[in-house]
Each structure stands twice: as C-alpha cells, then as structure tokens.
Amino acid sequence: MMRATSLFLLWVSCVFGAPVSKDRQKLLLISFDGFRWDYDRDVDTPNLDQMAKDGVKAQYVTPPYLTITSPSHFTILTGRYIENHGVIHNMWFNTTTTEKKPYYQSQFVNEWWDNGSLPIWITAQRQGLKAGSLHFPGTASSYQGQVAMVQEVEPLLYNYKNETAWRENSDKVMSWFRDRDLDFVSLYFGEPDGVGHKYGPDSPERREMVRQVDRTVGYIRHSAEHHGLTDQLNVIITADHGMSTVFRNGLVEEITLSKIPGFSFRDLSFHLLDYGPSGMLLPKPGKLDGVYNTLKGAHPHLHVYKKEEMPEHLHYSKNDRILPIILWADPGYVINGYFPVQFNKGEHGYDNQEMDMKPFFRAVGPAFQKNLEVGPFETVNIYPLMCHILGIQPEVNDGHLSVTKHMLVISDSRGSGDEKNHLKNAFTGLAAVAGFLVVTFIAIMSQKMLKRKHKNKRSDSFRDAQSEPVQSSF
C-alpha cells in the first residue's frame, strides 16, 4: 500500500510539472515606426491586404501620450501607460546636471528603462518560455538583472531604410523561432518614420517607403512558411504613432518661447524643448506660477499645463520624472526654445486623440480569426492579448483582454495568462487529488473488508469447534 501511494504521488508531481499544452503557439511582434493608420489608402499594398484577409485588421489603434518612439513602444511591451512605466521621453535627462542624451544613447541608460515595469520578454522567460528581441526599443537594457535570452541592438548610425537588411533581419528572427525554439520575438523597423519626418506624410517618398513595408510584410510571411512555422506562428504588426504635416514657410506664426513677452529662460532650472510639438519645463523655486501664467494663452496653438492639471485621458502626470510644466502644440506646429532649430516636414508627439497620431494594426496566425475588421482600441491592450496567446500570467498592467479577445478563434483553448491557464491547472490538480483520494479510500476500505472477512472466518471456525459432539471411545 505504501509503495502504491509513493508511486501515485510521483505521478501527481509529474502531472503538475508537465507543460499545460504541447502545441503551444509562438508570437512575433513587429513595429514599423511611424506607420500611420491610413498609409495603405493611397498606396497599393497587396501583402497587407492579404494579411487582413487571412487575419485581423483594426480600423486604427490609439497610442499613449506622449506619442513618441521609446515611451509608446514600452507601453506595447508592458501594457502600461507612460506615467506608470516611467519611460517618459526618448531622451534621458538629468535636471541637476542639465545633461541630456539623444534617442540612441538613451537606449543604454539602464535605469531609464529598468524602472519597475517588466517587458513581456522577461515575464515570458520567468514562466518558462524563450524570448528574443531585435532592434526593438528597450532591447539594450536589463530588467531586474535579466535580459532577453536572444537580443540584438542596432549599431550607431544604422541605416534604417536598407531593404536588404530588413530581409536579413526577418530571416534571422525566423531562424530564432525554428533553430533556437524561441516562443516570442519583438522585431523593429525604423521606417516609415524617417521619411515621414524628412519629406512629410503626404510625400511620394513616404508612399514609396510604404511599398517597401508591404514587400517586407510579404517576405516575412513567406519566410515563416519557408521555416515551417505557419501552423505555430502568430504575427502582430503595429506601430508606435502616426505622423502629421508641419506648417512652414511663413504659413503660420511659429511657437518660439523666447519671443513670448514676459518669458525668460533665466526663470528655469531645466527645460526639454526643440523636440517636436512637445516640451517640459522645470522652473526655479518660486517661479512656477509666473512661468505658467506667462505661457498660458500666449499662443493660440500652444497648450500649457501644470502636471497635476493634465487631462486624465493622457495618463501623463503621475510620475516623478515628468516635469512641473508640460507643453504641447496643435497638429502642424512645433515648439521652439530660443529659435527654430528643427526643420522636419513631418512630426509626431501631439495629443494621442488626433487622428494623425493613430497607428495601424494587423494580426494573423492560428490564434486569430480570418477576414475580420475590428474597431479602434488603445495599444495598451496589445500586451494582455500577447500574454493570452503565449499562455503566460501578465504583470500588473493597464490593458484589458476583453478589448481584443473577440479577435481570437472560438476554438482557442490555450491558457490565457490570467484565466484559462490557471483554471486548467486548477482542474488538473483537483482531478489528481480527487483521484488519489478515491484510490486511497478504496484501498483502505478493501483492507478493512479483508480484515473483517478474516476475522469472521476465525470466529466461525472457533464456534464450529465448540459445537462439535464428544465421541465415545466405546
């Protein structure tokens, strides 16, 4: 009996230690930086169109404010609004030393990224999966001492437009899935953001880059098939923000803070300006109200807020890294400090409710329905969707699976991070415990019945012996 019990307990431990599902699905997250929601409307995009027929297309998605690269991408990776994950800008800065680092150098400032929120790479790896990232913002950092299992950061002065490199990176990621058995990979392309800035979102150069994006989408799907991943691999393609045309050449009165009557940079300890349509100011002690009142209403297309007064829908106030005064401009305008130093024809960083700031969204694979177009949703909800597909428990986040769950096939029976996985494990555990108790009960009852039967036999034999007649010897 003891040996049977030990064997059964060993079997139970094997059940709990076994993976929930042998046919787990893989996920590739792709970002094409600055791909606005309507960029496929004035360009022939047969591969994106086919992807929509084979999967899911959203009308558009809404990024978080501030609508710039690093903060928006980290929201996708964590499911948190920018005020909650803390990567509040593309630029790392220090208000005491007034030092600032540009986008690329900020990728290597670990404490800027490792601020309490975990990207999906780390969460997946902590739950037994394998993850990687290629060029995705945040890849260079470690989080609570951990990095993506397979990672590649682009070199300085990298050519984000090189289509040959795009194909090589696509094949590299597919080999990670096939040869290294990765479960999740994030892949980043730096266009059409670059051409949108340089030439404007309505330019022929932008339209040609969209054609390159479309060719790459087709190549990625072909590469997945070539690597034998079609039946396992889900692909989500989206972006961090859109793009808006900047008004120049005397068409408008530009916003230049130094020209505003009563404003002085001597009243500031630190400022983050000349970075598109947004800015932040740190006034010197006792100067906050004066600076605020001077700038408020100074230009009809300049919005000025104390951080605690920021509109709630922007979720951009409740973080110590955010400076006391926040500025942003209406679409078409940029904020200059002393004088204009930026001459892009396209910009982003505007209010995330502006349609020009909305990115696109496509998804295809065994987890997704086919030929389904859905309404708009916030990019903060992409994270719980990815966790569901991977079958992992999400970290605390600001998204909701209910927003995107209708995109999934009805027969999807893998565990979601916050529902099915736990239910399946719970039922498996309960079944194992119930089975063990039943076996134990049967064994104990059988032993008792056997003992009783033996006892009854001995009693009957004794009574029979006592009742036999004594025979005479004569």
Q: Bridge partners of 408?
A: 368
Of 62, 67, 69, 216, catalytic: 69
In a 10 Å sphere around its CB, with 0-12 CB exposed, 13-18 middle and 19+ buried, how is residue 369 labelled?
Answer: middle
What residues contact residue 265 under an 8 Å CB cut-off, 6+ apart? 257, 258, 271, 337, 338
CA dihedral for 35, 40, 43, 49, sign (positive or negative):
positive
Q: Which tokens belong to 38?
A: 């309507």
69 is catalytic: yes
**CA nearest 241: which of 70, 43, 27, 113?**
70
Q: What is the DSSP letter of 11?
A: H
Q: Which tokens belong to 146?
A: 């951990």
CA dist 45 and 212 (Å) reads 9
**CA nearest 193: which of 84, 356, 303, 69?**
69
Q: What is the DSSP letter of 36?
A: B
CA dist 199 and 468 (Å) reads 118
Other Cβ atoms less than 10 A from the Cβ of 283: the count is 19
DSSP states along 235-265 = EEEE-S---EEPP-TTSS--EEGGGSTT--G
CA dist 374 and 96 (Å) reads 47
In a 10 Å sphere around its CB, with 0-12 CB exposed, 13-18 middle and 19+ buried, how is residue 101 labelled?
Answer: middle
CA dist 376 and 360 (Å) reads 10
Q: H-type helices in 66-131, by residue range?
A: 69-78, 82-85, 103-106, 110-113, 120-126
Q: Bridge partners of 306?
A: 325
* The dihedral formed by the CA atoms of 252, 253, 257 and 260, expressed in degrees to the nearest 10: -160
Is residue 379 within 8 A of residue 372, CB to CB? The reply is no
The catalytic residue positions are 69
